[in-house]
Structure 1
Amino acid sequence: MTDRYHGPAGGLPDQSVLHTGRAVFTEAYAFIPKGVMTDIVASPLPFWDGTRAWILARPMTGFSETFSQYLMETTPGGGSDRPEPRADVEGVLFVVAGELAVTLEGTDHHLQVGGYAYLPPGAGWTIRNPGDAPARYHWIRKRYERLEGLAVPDAIFTSDAAVAPNEMRGTDGRWATTRFVDPDDLRHDMHVNIVTFQAGASIPFEETHVMEHGLFVLEGKGVYRLNRDWVEVEAGDFMWLRAFCPQACYAGGPGPFRYLLYKDMNRHASFEAFGIERR
Protein backbone atom coordinates (compact mmCIF):
# COMPACT_ATOMS: atom_id res chain seq x y z
CA MET A 1 0.00 0.00 0.00
CA THR A 2 2.69 2.50 0.96
CA ASP A 3 4.35 2.46 -2.48
CA ARG A 4 1.21 3.95 -4.05
CA TYR A 5 1.11 7.32 -2.28
CA HIS A 6 1.06 10.09 -4.82
CA GLY A 7 3.76 12.74 -4.72
CA PRO A 8 4.63 15.70 -6.99
CA ALA A 9 6.34 15.06 -10.29
CA GLY A 10 7.18 18.63 -11.31
CA GLY A 11 8.23 19.33 -14.87
CA LEU A 12 6.15 21.16 -17.45
CA PRO A 13 3.58 19.99 -20.02
CA ASP A 14 4.73 19.76 -23.60
CA GLN A 15 3.91 22.79 -25.79
CA SER A 16 1.58 20.60 -27.87
CA VAL A 17 -0.66 19.74 -24.92
CA LEU A 18 -4.20 21.15 -25.07
CA HIS A 19 -5.43 23.33 -22.23
CA THR A 20 -7.87 20.96 -20.57
CA GLY A 21 -7.12 21.66 -16.91
CA ARG A 22 -9.55 21.02 -14.07
CA ALA A 23 -8.40 23.71 -11.59
CA VAL A 24 -11.09 25.91 -10.07
CA PHE A 25 -11.35 28.47 -7.26
CA THR A 26 -14.78 29.36 -5.88
CA GLU A 27 -16.21 31.19 -2.89
CA ALA A 28 -16.52 27.88 -0.99
CA TYR A 29 -13.67 25.68 -2.19
CA ALA A 30 -10.56 25.44 -4.33
CA PHE A 31 -9.68 22.40 -6.42
CA ILE A 32 -6.00 22.07 -7.38
CA PRO A 33 -5.44 19.07 -9.67
CA LYS A 34 -2.09 17.32 -9.81
CA GLY A 35 -1.38 18.64 -13.30
CA VAL A 36 -0.80 22.20 -12.09
CA MET A 37 1.94 21.22 -9.60
CA THR A 38 4.69 22.00 -12.08
CA ASP A 39 8.19 23.45 -11.73
CA ILE A 40 7.12 27.05 -12.27
CA VAL A 41 4.76 27.15 -9.26
CA ALA A 42 7.19 25.58 -6.78
CA SER A 43 8.92 27.88 -4.28
CA PRO A 44 12.22 27.75 -2.39
CA LEU A 45 11.98 28.49 1.34
CA PRO A 46 14.35 30.52 3.55
CA PHE A 47 16.94 28.46 5.47
CA TRP A 48 16.20 25.30 3.47
CA ASP A 49 18.63 23.75 0.98
CA GLY A 50 17.96 21.26 -1.78
CA THR A 51 14.24 21.77 -1.26
CA ARG A 52 11.24 23.18 -3.09
CA ALA A 53 7.64 23.54 -1.94
CA TRP A 54 4.28 23.57 -3.66
CA ILE A 55 2.17 25.78 -1.38
CA LEU A 56 -1.31 24.31 -1.69
CA ALA A 57 -3.08 26.31 1.03
CA ARG A 58 -2.38 29.42 3.08
CA PRO A 59 -4.55 31.50 5.40
CA MET A 60 -6.73 33.91 3.43
CA THR A 61 -9.21 36.37 4.85
CA GLY A 62 -12.73 35.33 3.89
CA PHE A 63 -11.65 31.83 2.95
CA SER A 64 -9.86 29.12 4.95
CA GLU A 65 -8.00 30.97 7.68
CA THR A 66 -6.44 28.47 10.07
CA PHE A 67 -3.69 26.57 8.25
CA SER A 68 -1.16 26.25 5.47
CA GLN A 69 -0.25 23.07 3.60
CA TYR A 70 2.92 22.49 1.61
CA LEU A 71 3.88 19.59 -0.61
CA MET A 72 7.67 19.39 -0.21
CA GLU A 73 10.46 17.83 -2.25
CA THR A 74 13.95 17.54 -0.73
CA THR A 75 16.93 16.15 -2.64
CA PRO A 76 19.42 13.75 -1.00
CA GLY A 77 21.34 15.57 1.73
CA GLY A 78 18.98 18.55 1.64
CA GLY A 79 16.82 19.90 4.42
CA SER A 80 16.97 22.59 7.08
CA ASP A 81 18.49 23.29 10.48
CA ARG A 82 15.84 25.97 11.15
CA PRO A 83 12.73 24.83 9.25
CA GLU A 84 9.97 26.52 11.26
CA PRO A 85 10.41 30.30 11.55
CA ARG A 86 7.65 30.85 14.18
CA ALA A 87 7.65 29.65 17.78
CA ASP A 88 3.83 29.70 17.95
CA VAL A 89 3.31 27.33 15.01
CA GLU A 90 2.81 23.56 15.22
CA GLY A 91 3.35 21.20 12.33
CA VAL A 92 2.63 17.79 10.85
CA LEU A 93 4.85 15.91 8.40
CA PHE A 94 3.62 12.98 6.29
CA VAL A 95 6.03 11.19 3.95
CA VAL A 96 4.81 10.03 0.53
CA ALA A 97 8.16 9.10 -1.07
CA GLY A 98 11.73 8.57 0.08
CA GLU A 99 12.80 9.02 3.69
CA LEU A 100 13.43 11.76 6.25
CA ALA A 101 15.58 12.15 9.32
CA VAL A 102 13.93 14.48 11.84
CA THR A 103 15.89 15.52 14.93
CA LEU A 104 13.75 16.87 17.76
CA GLU A 105 15.36 18.22 20.93
CA GLY A 106 18.48 16.17 20.23
CA THR A 107 16.68 12.87 19.47
CA ASP A 108 16.77 11.40 15.97
CA HIS A 109 13.64 9.99 14.31
CA HIS A 110 13.64 8.19 10.96
CA LEU A 111 10.51 8.50 8.81
CA GLN A 112 9.95 6.12 5.91
CA VAL A 113 7.12 6.25 3.36
CA GLY A 114 3.87 6.58 5.33
CA GLY A 115 5.69 8.13 8.27
CA TYR A 116 3.88 10.76 10.36
CA ALA A 117 5.28 13.35 12.76
CA TYR A 118 3.47 15.88 14.95
CA LEU A 119 5.79 18.73 15.97
CA PRO A 120 4.56 20.95 18.84
CA PRO A 121 4.89 24.74 18.77
CA GLY A 122 8.27 25.93 19.94
CA ALA A 123 9.90 22.55 19.40
CA GLY A 124 13.50 22.67 18.21
CA TRP A 125 13.63 20.37 15.21
CA THR A 126 15.74 19.88 12.12
CA ILE A 127 15.13 17.83 9.00
CA ARG A 128 17.33 16.09 6.42
CA ASN A 129 16.94 13.65 3.56
CA PRO A 130 19.43 10.85 4.41
CA GLY A 131 18.53 8.72 1.40
CA ASP A 132 19.73 8.52 -2.20
CA ALA A 133 16.41 9.57 -3.80
CA PRO A 134 14.24 12.68 -3.43
CA ALA A 135 12.02 12.77 -0.35
CA ARG A 136 8.47 14.00 -0.90
CA TYR A 137 6.21 14.87 2.00
CA HIS A 138 3.40 17.05 3.24
CA TRP A 139 4.07 19.78 5.78
CA ILE A 140 0.95 21.21 7.44
CA ARG A 141 1.37 24.27 9.66
CA LYS A 142 -1.05 25.93 12.07
CA ARG A 143 -0.70 28.64 14.71
CA TYR A 144 -1.35 26.79 17.95
CA GLU A 145 -4.24 28.09 20.06
CA ARG A 146 -3.02 27.93 23.66
CA LEU A 147 -5.54 27.66 26.48
CA GLU A 148 -4.91 28.16 30.18
CA GLY A 149 -5.17 24.78 31.89
CA LEU A 150 -4.21 22.76 28.81
CA ALA A 151 -0.57 21.86 28.21
CA VAL A 152 1.02 21.90 24.78
CA PRO A 153 0.78 18.44 23.15
CA ASP A 154 3.73 16.08 23.10
CA ALA A 155 5.50 15.25 19.85
CA ILE A 156 4.29 12.17 17.99
CA PHE A 157 6.25 9.95 15.60
CA THR A 158 4.39 7.04 14.03
CA SER A 159 3.24 5.79 10.62
CA ASP A 160 0.21 4.87 8.55
CA ALA A 161 1.14 1.19 8.88
CA ALA A 162 1.43 1.40 12.68
CA VAL A 163 -2.03 2.86 13.36
CA ALA A 164 -5.13 0.71 12.96
CA PRO A 165 -7.96 2.48 11.11
CA ASN A 166 -11.18 3.15 13.01
CA GLU A 167 -14.21 1.85 11.14
CA MET A 168 -17.12 4.22 10.73
CA ARG A 169 -20.09 2.72 12.53
CA GLY A 170 -22.53 0.84 10.30
CA THR A 171 -20.25 0.65 7.25
CA ASP A 172 -18.67 -2.82 7.75
CA GLY A 173 -15.25 -1.22 7.43
CA ARG A 174 -15.90 0.28 4.00
CA TRP A 175 -15.33 3.77 5.46
CA ALA A 176 -12.53 4.11 8.00
CA THR A 177 -10.27 6.79 9.47
CA THR A 178 -6.64 6.44 10.53
CA ARG A 179 -6.31 8.79 13.52
CA PHE A 180 -2.77 9.65 14.52
CA VAL A 181 -3.99 11.72 17.50
CA ASP A 182 -6.32 10.57 20.28
CA PRO A 183 -9.67 12.32 19.56
CA ASP A 184 -10.20 12.80 23.32
CA ASP A 185 -6.91 14.69 23.78
CA LEU A 186 -8.14 18.29 23.83
CA ARG A 187 -4.62 19.66 23.93
CA HIS A 188 -4.68 19.24 20.14
CA ASP A 189 -6.39 21.98 18.14
CA MET A 190 -6.01 20.22 14.78
CA HIS A 191 -6.14 16.68 13.44
CA VAL A 192 -4.41 15.31 10.36
CA ASN A 193 -5.94 11.91 9.53
CA ILE A 194 -6.12 9.50 6.61
CA VAL A 195 -9.62 8.66 5.41
CA THR A 196 -10.12 5.40 3.49
CA PHE A 197 -13.10 4.35 1.37
CA GLN A 198 -13.32 0.97 -0.27
CA ALA A 199 -14.58 0.90 -3.86
CA GLY A 200 -18.22 2.01 -3.99
CA ALA A 201 -18.32 3.34 -0.43
CA SER A 202 -19.56 6.86 0.22
CA ILE A 203 -20.20 9.72 2.59
CA PRO A 204 -23.99 9.37 2.25
CA PHE A 205 -24.93 12.92 3.26
CA GLU A 206 -23.65 16.44 2.70
CA GLU A 207 -21.38 17.22 5.65
CA THR A 208 -21.69 20.91 6.50
CA HIS A 209 -19.59 21.99 9.48
CA VAL A 210 -17.32 24.61 11.01
CA MET A 211 -14.04 22.77 10.36
CA GLU A 212 -11.83 23.90 7.49
CA HIS A 213 -10.26 21.18 5.36
CA GLY A 214 -7.26 20.39 3.26
CA LEU A 215 -7.73 17.06 1.44
CA PHE A 216 -4.90 15.56 -0.60
CA VAL A 217 -5.78 12.38 -2.48
CA LEU A 218 -3.08 9.79 -1.72
CA GLU A 219 -4.53 6.82 -3.62
CA GLY A 220 -7.35 5.92 -5.96
CA LYS A 221 -10.12 8.02 -7.42
CA GLY A 222 -13.60 9.20 -6.56
CA VAL A 223 -16.30 11.78 -7.11
CA TYR A 224 -16.45 14.52 -4.49
CA ARG A 225 -19.33 16.87 -3.75
CA LEU A 226 -17.94 20.37 -3.18
CA ASN A 227 -20.65 22.91 -2.38
CA ARG A 228 -22.95 22.68 -5.45
CA ASP A 229 -20.60 20.70 -7.68
CA TRP A 230 -19.67 17.05 -8.18
CA VAL A 231 -15.95 16.90 -9.06
CA GLU A 232 -13.96 13.88 -10.26
CA VAL A 233 -10.80 13.53 -8.20
CA GLU A 234 -7.80 11.20 -8.31
CA ALA A 235 -4.47 10.58 -6.58
CA GLY A 236 -2.41 13.77 -6.57
CA ASP A 237 -5.37 16.19 -6.49
CA PHE A 238 -5.89 18.66 -3.64
CA MET A 239 -9.15 20.09 -2.30
CA TRP A 240 -9.24 23.15 -0.04
CA LEU A 241 -12.58 23.74 1.74
CA ARG A 242 -13.61 26.74 3.78
CA ALA A 243 -15.84 26.36 6.83
CA PHE A 244 -19.41 25.16 6.14
CA CYS A 245 -18.71 24.05 2.56
CA PRO A 246 -21.11 21.11 1.95
CA GLN A 247 -19.19 17.94 1.10
CA ALA A 248 -19.79 14.27 0.31
CA CYS A 249 -18.14 11.64 -1.89
CA TYR A 250 -18.26 8.28 -3.66
CA ALA A 251 -15.20 6.05 -4.04
CA GLY A 252 -14.68 5.09 -7.67
CA GLY A 253 -12.53 1.95 -7.40
CA PRO A 254 -11.14 -0.42 -8.42
CA GLY A 255 -8.91 0.01 -5.34
CA PRO A 256 -9.29 2.05 -2.14
CA PHE A 257 -9.82 5.81 -2.27
CA ARG A 258 -7.62 7.43 0.41
CA TYR A 259 -6.88 11.03 1.29
CA LEU A 260 -4.89 12.98 3.87
CA LEU A 261 -7.31 15.24 5.77
CA TYR A 262 -6.60 18.38 7.82
CA LYS A 263 -9.24 19.87 10.12
CA ASP A 264 -9.18 22.39 12.97
CA MET A 265 -10.65 21.00 16.20
CA ASN A 266 -11.39 21.41 19.90
CA ARG A 267 -11.53 25.18 20.27
CA HIS A 268 -14.22 27.85 20.65
CA ALA A 269 -15.00 30.05 17.68
CA SER A 270 -12.65 33.03 17.50
CA PHE A 271 -13.94 36.60 17.73
CA GLU A 272 -10.61 38.45 17.57
CA ALA A 273 -10.40 38.22 13.78
CA PHE A 274 -13.52 40.38 13.57
CA GLY A 275 -12.38 43.11 15.95
CA ILE A 276 -14.44 41.89 18.93
CA GLU A 277 -12.43 42.47 22.10
CA ARG A 278 -11.97 39.90 24.85
CA ARG A 279 -14.03 40.58 27.97
Structure 2
Amino acid sequence: MNRDEVVAALVSAGFGAGWRAVRALPEPLARAAFERLGELSARRGGPGVRRLRANLARVVPSAGAAELDALVRAGMRSYARYWCEAFRLPSLDPAQVHRRMDPHVTGAGPALDAVAAGRGVVFALPHSGNWDLAGVWMVETLRRSGHEPVLTTVVERLRPESLYRRFVAYRESLGFEVLAVDDAVGTHRALTARLRAGGVACLVSDRDLTAGGGIEVSFFGEATRFPAGPARLASLTGALLVPAFPRFTPDGWALPMAPPVPVAGRADVPAAMQAVADAFAGLIAAAPQDWHMLQPLWDADRARVAA
Protein backbone atom coordinates (compact mmCIF):
# COMPACT_ATOMS: atom_id res chain seq x y z
CA MET A 1 0.00 0.00 0.00
CA ASN A 2 1.53 3.34 -1.07
CA ARG A 3 1.34 6.66 0.79
CA ASP A 4 -1.77 7.91 -1.07
CA GLU A 5 -3.60 4.68 -0.34
CA VAL A 6 -2.69 4.92 3.35
CA VAL A 7 -3.95 8.51 3.54
CA ALA A 8 -7.17 7.54 1.75
CA ALA A 9 -7.73 4.64 4.14
CA LEU A 10 -7.16 6.89 7.17
CA VAL A 11 -9.57 9.54 5.83
CA SER A 12 -12.23 6.91 5.18
CA ALA A 13 -11.77 5.38 8.63
CA GLY A 14 -11.95 8.82 10.22
CA PHE A 15 -15.19 9.66 8.46
CA GLY A 16 -16.63 6.29 9.39
CA ALA A 17 -15.78 6.78 13.05
CA GLY A 18 -17.18 10.31 12.97
CA TRP A 19 -20.35 9.09 11.30
CA ARG A 20 -20.97 6.57 14.08
CA ALA A 21 -20.05 8.97 16.89
CA VAL A 22 -22.27 11.84 15.69
CA ARG A 23 -25.24 9.52 15.20
CA ALA A 24 -24.84 8.28 18.78
CA LEU A 25 -25.07 11.79 20.26
CA PRO A 26 -28.40 13.42 21.19
CA GLU A 27 -29.41 15.86 18.44
CA PRO A 28 -29.07 19.06 20.56
CA LEU A 29 -25.58 18.08 21.70
CA ALA A 30 -24.43 17.17 18.20
CA ARG A 31 -25.78 20.41 16.74
CA ALA A 32 -24.17 22.51 19.47
CA ALA A 33 -20.81 20.85 18.86
CA PHE A 34 -20.93 21.43 15.11
CA GLU A 35 -22.10 25.03 15.52
CA ARG A 36 -19.07 25.57 17.74
CA LEU A 37 -16.87 24.15 14.99
CA GLY A 38 -18.50 26.53 12.53
CA GLU A 39 -17.78 29.48 14.81
CA LEU A 40 -14.15 28.42 15.19
CA SER A 41 -13.77 28.09 11.42
CA ALA A 42 -15.17 31.58 10.94
CA ARG A 43 -12.71 33.00 13.46
CA ARG A 44 -9.75 31.26 11.86
CA GLY A 45 -10.69 32.82 8.53
CA GLY A 46 -9.23 30.26 6.17
CA PRO A 47 -9.46 30.47 2.36
CA GLY A 48 -13.01 29.07 2.24
CA VAL A 49 -14.20 31.52 4.88
CA ARG A 50 -12.60 34.44 3.08
CA ARG A 51 -14.27 33.35 -0.15
CA LEU A 52 -17.63 33.02 1.60
CA ARG A 53 -17.24 36.57 2.90
CA ALA A 54 -16.49 37.91 -0.58
CA ASN A 55 -19.46 36.04 -2.04
CA LEU A 56 -21.85 37.25 0.66
CA ALA A 57 -20.65 40.82 0.16
CA ARG A 58 -22.25 40.63 -3.29
CA VAL A 59 -25.49 39.26 -1.87
CA VAL A 60 -25.72 42.01 0.76
CA PRO A 61 -23.77 44.91 -0.79
CA SER A 62 -25.05 47.37 1.82
CA ALA A 63 -23.57 45.37 4.72
CA GLY A 64 -20.87 47.03 6.79
CA ALA A 65 -17.87 45.16 8.17
CA ALA A 66 -19.57 44.17 11.45
CA GLU A 67 -22.75 42.99 9.71
CA LEU A 68 -20.70 41.00 7.21
CA ASP A 69 -18.69 39.42 10.04
CA ALA A 70 -21.91 38.31 11.72
CA LEU A 71 -23.27 36.97 8.43
CA VAL A 72 -20.11 34.93 7.81
CA ARG A 73 -20.32 33.45 11.32
CA ALA A 74 -23.95 32.53 10.71
CA GLY A 75 -22.99 31.08 7.34
CA MET A 76 -20.30 28.85 8.83
CA ARG A 77 -22.69 27.68 11.56
CA SER A 78 -25.18 26.84 8.83
CA TYR A 79 -22.55 24.96 6.83
CA ALA A 80 -21.48 23.03 9.95
CA ARG A 81 -25.13 22.17 10.62
CA TYR A 82 -25.36 20.66 7.15
CA TRP A 83 -22.45 18.32 7.91
CA CYS A 84 -23.88 17.43 11.30
CA GLU A 85 -27.15 16.44 9.65
CA ALA A 86 -25.34 14.60 6.86
CA PHE A 87 -23.74 12.35 9.49
CA ARG A 88 -27.01 11.92 11.42
CA LEU A 89 -29.43 11.53 8.52
CA PRO A 90 -29.29 7.71 8.26
CA SER A 91 -30.75 7.56 11.77
CA LEU A 92 -33.54 10.09 11.13
CA ASP A 93 -37.12 9.00 10.50
CA PRO A 94 -38.34 10.25 7.07
CA ALA A 95 -41.81 10.76 8.53
CA GLN A 96 -40.35 13.03 11.22
CA VAL A 97 -38.36 14.99 8.62
CA HIS A 98 -41.54 15.43 6.60
CA ARG A 99 -43.52 16.58 9.64
CA ARG A 100 -40.94 19.21 10.57
CA MET A 101 -40.40 20.50 7.03
CA ASP A 102 -43.89 20.35 5.51
CA PRO A 103 -45.26 23.56 7.11
CA HIS A 104 -42.30 25.47 5.67
CA VAL A 105 -42.59 24.28 2.06
CA THR A 106 -44.03 26.91 -0.28
CA GLY A 107 -44.77 27.02 -3.99
CA ALA A 108 -44.80 23.23 -4.43
CA GLY A 109 -48.19 23.04 -6.14
CA PRO A 110 -47.03 23.21 -9.79
CA ALA A 111 -44.36 20.54 -9.25
CA LEU A 112 -46.71 18.15 -7.46
CA ASP A 113 -49.40 18.71 -10.11
CA ALA A 114 -46.87 17.92 -12.84
CA VAL A 115 -45.85 14.65 -11.19
CA ALA A 116 -49.51 13.70 -10.73
CA ALA A 117 -50.01 14.25 -14.47
CA GLY A 118 -47.02 12.04 -15.34
CA ARG A 119 -44.73 14.92 -16.27
CA GLY A 120 -41.12 15.03 -15.15
CA VAL A 121 -39.81 17.77 -12.91
CA VAL A 122 -36.31 19.29 -12.76
CA PHE A 123 -35.59 21.03 -9.48
CA ALA A 124 -32.71 23.51 -9.82
CA LEU A 125 -31.07 24.10 -6.43
CA PRO A 126 -28.18 26.25 -5.20
CA HIS A 127 -25.63 24.99 -2.66
CA SER A 128 -27.80 25.74 0.36
CA GLY A 129 -29.35 24.36 3.52
CA ASN A 130 -29.70 20.60 3.42
CA TRP A 131 -30.77 19.43 -0.01
CA ASP A 132 -30.73 15.79 1.11
CA LEU A 133 -33.57 16.53 3.52
CA ALA A 134 -35.41 18.42 0.80
CA GLY A 135 -35.19 15.21 -1.22
CA VAL A 136 -36.49 13.21 1.75
CA TRP A 137 -39.49 15.56 1.94
CA MET A 138 -40.18 15.13 -1.78
CA VAL A 139 -39.93 11.33 -1.68
CA GLU A 140 -42.17 11.13 1.38
CA THR A 141 -44.71 13.58 -0.09
CA LEU A 142 -44.96 11.68 -3.35
CA ARG A 143 -45.30 8.36 -1.59
CA ARG A 144 -48.13 9.73 0.53
CA SER A 145 -49.92 10.85 -2.61
CA GLY A 146 -49.62 7.40 -4.17
CA HIS A 147 -46.75 8.10 -6.56
CA GLU A 148 -43.41 6.30 -6.75
CA PRO A 149 -41.35 8.34 -9.25
CA VAL A 150 -37.58 8.05 -9.35
CA LEU A 151 -35.83 10.95 -7.60
CA THR A 152 -32.48 11.29 -9.33
CA THR A 153 -29.58 13.52 -8.36
CA VAL A 154 -26.06 14.16 -9.61
CA VAL A 155 -23.10 14.51 -7.24
CA GLU A 156 -19.39 15.21 -7.43
CA ARG A 157 -17.23 12.14 -6.90
CA LEU A 158 -15.56 12.42 -3.49
CA ARG A 159 -12.13 11.11 -2.65
CA PRO A 160 -11.31 8.58 -1.36
CA GLU A 161 -13.59 6.26 -3.33
CA SER A 162 -14.71 4.46 -0.16
CA LEU A 163 -16.03 7.75 1.23
CA TYR A 164 -17.90 8.44 -2.03
CA ARG A 165 -19.48 4.96 -1.89
CA ARG A 166 -20.54 5.57 1.70
CA PHE A 167 -22.33 8.79 0.78
CA VAL A 168 -23.95 7.18 -2.28
CA ALA A 169 -25.19 4.23 -0.23
CA TYR A 170 -26.74 6.47 2.39
CA ARG A 171 -28.49 8.61 -0.24
CA GLU A 172 -29.76 5.51 -2.01
CA SER A 173 -31.20 4.31 1.30
CA LEU A 174 -33.32 7.49 1.31
CA GLY A 175 -34.89 6.61 -2.03
CA PHE A 176 -32.52 8.57 -4.30
CA GLU A 177 -30.83 7.46 -7.48
CA VAL A 178 -27.31 8.92 -7.43
CA LEU A 179 -25.35 9.62 -10.62
CA ALA A 180 -21.74 10.81 -10.83
CA VAL A 181 -21.08 14.17 -12.49
CA ASP A 182 -17.90 12.88 -14.13
CA ASP A 183 -19.82 10.29 -16.20
CA ALA A 184 -21.29 12.95 -18.47
CA VAL A 185 -22.73 10.71 -21.20
CA GLY A 186 -24.20 8.06 -18.92
CA THR A 187 -25.61 10.64 -16.52
CA HIS A 188 -27.27 12.61 -19.35
CA ARG A 189 -28.87 9.47 -20.78
CA ALA A 190 -30.15 8.36 -17.39
CA LEU A 191 -31.60 11.77 -16.53
CA THR A 192 -33.32 12.06 -19.90
CA ALA A 193 -34.89 8.63 -19.53
CA ARG A 194 -36.06 9.27 -15.97
CA LEU A 195 -37.63 12.63 -16.80
CA ARG A 196 -39.40 11.33 -19.89
CA ALA A 197 -40.87 8.62 -17.65
CA GLY A 198 -42.25 11.24 -15.23
CA GLY A 199 -39.43 11.17 -12.71
CA VAL A 200 -37.96 13.95 -10.59
CA ALA A 201 -34.39 15.28 -10.86
CA CYS A 202 -32.70 17.49 -8.27
CA LEU A 203 -29.71 19.32 -9.76
CA VAL A 204 -27.37 21.70 -7.95
CA SER A 205 -27.25 24.54 -10.46
CA ASP A 206 -25.38 27.59 -9.14
CA ARG A 207 -21.83 26.58 -10.10
CA ASP A 208 -20.69 25.35 -13.49
CA LEU A 209 -18.25 22.44 -13.22
CA THR A 210 -17.85 21.86 -16.96
CA ALA A 211 -14.93 23.08 -19.05
CA GLY A 212 -16.60 26.16 -20.50
CA GLY A 213 -19.90 24.43 -21.29
CA GLY A 214 -22.06 26.54 -19.01
CA ILE A 215 -24.39 29.44 -19.74
CA GLU A 216 -23.27 32.98 -18.98
CA VAL A 217 -25.71 34.72 -16.63
CA SER A 218 -25.87 37.88 -14.58
CA PHE A 219 -26.04 36.95 -10.90
CA PHE A 220 -26.31 39.67 -8.27
CA GLY A 221 -25.25 42.09 -11.00
CA GLU A 222 -22.05 40.31 -12.10
CA ALA A 223 -21.19 37.78 -14.77
CA THR A 224 -20.80 34.09 -13.96
CA ARG A 225 -21.68 30.79 -15.58
CA PHE A 226 -24.40 28.37 -14.55
CA PRO A 227 -24.65 24.79 -15.84
CA ALA A 228 -26.93 24.48 -18.86
CA GLY A 229 -28.16 21.00 -17.83
CA PRO A 230 -31.37 21.90 -15.97
CA ALA A 231 -32.83 23.94 -18.84
CA ARG A 232 -31.52 21.61 -21.56
CA LEU A 233 -33.08 18.60 -19.88
CA ALA A 234 -36.38 20.45 -19.55
CA SER A 235 -36.30 21.38 -23.23
CA LEU A 236 -35.47 17.81 -24.29
CA THR A 237 -38.01 16.02 -22.12
CA GLY A 238 -40.82 18.50 -21.55
CA ALA A 239 -40.13 18.43 -17.82
CA LEU A 240 -41.13 21.32 -15.57
CA LEU A 241 -38.17 23.45 -14.43
CA VAL A 242 -38.55 24.69 -10.83
CA PRO A 243 -35.94 26.74 -8.91
CA ALA A 244 -35.92 25.90 -5.19
CA PHE A 245 -33.87 26.94 -2.16
CA PRO A 246 -33.44 24.45 0.70
CA ARG A 247 -32.72 26.36 3.90
CA PHE A 248 -32.81 25.94 7.67
CA THR A 249 -35.32 27.06 10.29
CA PRO A 250 -34.36 27.18 13.99
CA ASP A 251 -35.86 23.73 14.63
CA GLY A 252 -36.18 22.25 11.17
CA TRP A 253 -36.01 23.04 7.48
CA ALA A 254 -37.76 25.10 4.84
CA LEU A 255 -38.11 24.66 1.08
CA PRO A 256 -39.40 27.72 -0.79
CA MET A 257 -39.90 27.17 -4.52
CA ALA A 258 -40.03 29.86 -7.18
CA PRO A 259 -42.58 29.78 -10.03
CA PRO A 260 -41.67 27.34 -12.84
CA VAL A 261 -39.38 28.64 -15.56
CA PRO A 262 -40.75 28.16 -19.12
CA VAL A 263 -38.50 26.28 -21.54
CA ALA A 264 -40.28 25.70 -24.87
CA GLY A 265 -37.23 24.54 -26.80
CA ARG A 266 -33.44 24.52 -27.02
CA ALA A 267 -33.31 28.15 -28.11
CA ASP A 268 -34.87 29.11 -24.75
CA VAL A 269 -32.08 27.54 -22.67
CA PRO A 270 -29.97 30.70 -22.12
CA ALA A 271 -33.00 32.79 -21.12
CA ALA A 272 -34.24 29.99 -18.88
CA MET A 273 -30.94 29.77 -17.00
CA GLN A 274 -30.96 33.55 -16.56
CA ALA A 275 -34.44 33.19 -15.08
CA VAL A 276 -33.07 30.50 -12.73
CA ALA A 277 -30.25 32.88 -11.71
CA ASP A 278 -32.78 35.63 -11.02
CA ALA A 279 -34.91 33.25 -8.95
CA PHE A 280 -31.86 32.10 -6.98
CA ALA A 281 -30.89 35.70 -6.28
CA GLY A 282 -34.29 36.43 -4.75
CA LEU A 283 -34.34 33.22 -2.72
CA ILE A 284 -30.75 33.57 -1.47
CA ALA A 285 -31.23 37.21 -0.49
CA ALA A 286 -34.00 36.12 1.90
CA ALA A 287 -31.62 33.82 3.85
CA PRO A 288 -28.04 34.44 2.72
CA GLN A 289 -26.53 32.64 5.72
CA ASP A 290 -27.79 29.33 4.31
CA TRP A 291 -26.04 29.71 0.94
CA HIS A 292 -22.90 27.58 1.26
CA MET A 293 -20.74 28.96 -1.54
CA LEU A 294 -17.15 28.72 -0.30
CA GLN A 295 -15.57 28.66 -3.79
CA PRO A 296 -14.88 31.35 -6.41
CA LEU A 297 -18.08 31.79 -8.41
CA TRP A 298 -18.03 35.00 -10.41
CA ASP A 299 -15.88 35.37 -13.53
CA ALA A 300 -13.84 38.18 -11.97
CA ASP A 301 -12.90 36.00 -8.98
CA ARG A 302 -12.07 32.98 -11.11
CA ALA A 303 -9.79 35.11 -13.25
CA ARG A 304 -7.92 36.38 -10.17
CA VAL A 305 -7.48 32.82 -8.87
CA ALA A 306 -6.20 31.62 -12.24
CA ALA A 307 -3.77 34.54 -12.61
One fold, TM greater than 0.5? Answer: no
Q: Which has a greater percent of helix?
A: 2
Give the number of the structure with larger relative contact order, counting CA–CA contacts within 8 Å between residues 6 or more apart: 2
Q: Which has a greater percent of strand?
A: 1
